[in-house]
Amino acid sequence: MPKSTFQKRNGADAAFARAIARAEFGRFYCDDNDLREVRRSMARGEAHRRQMNEAAQPSASGSPKPDKPKAPKPKGTMRDAPRLRERRTELAEAFARLKETRKLRI
């Protein structure tokens, strides 16, 4: 016969059960919140795809617009390589800064 008084439930609550399931199943575990997030994401992607398709279709009321030729991209400029003497001084300064910071830490 069931007891008529309320007793505190000893055992796992829902959060603990989810944590245990995630630990056992690893990356393959998904709960209702994960599934809802996936559904929301898929719905957003589908809505975005529909908007892009509608924007890409020419309107029936107006005449189709001719495509404008694209301007050529400017070519990148070559940067001069650093001279050896300048590079040596940069390295020497960097090593000096490194030695100073090491002395301060010790």
Q: 12-51 burial, b if ≥16 CB within 10 A, otherwise e?
A: eeeeeeeeeeeeeeeeeeeeeeeeeeeeeeeeeeeeeeee
pLDDT band per the 50, 70, 90 thresholds, residue 62: low
pTM: 0.33
How does pLDDT run across 29-52, given as a tens digit for each residue?
Answer: 777 777 888 899 999 999 999 998
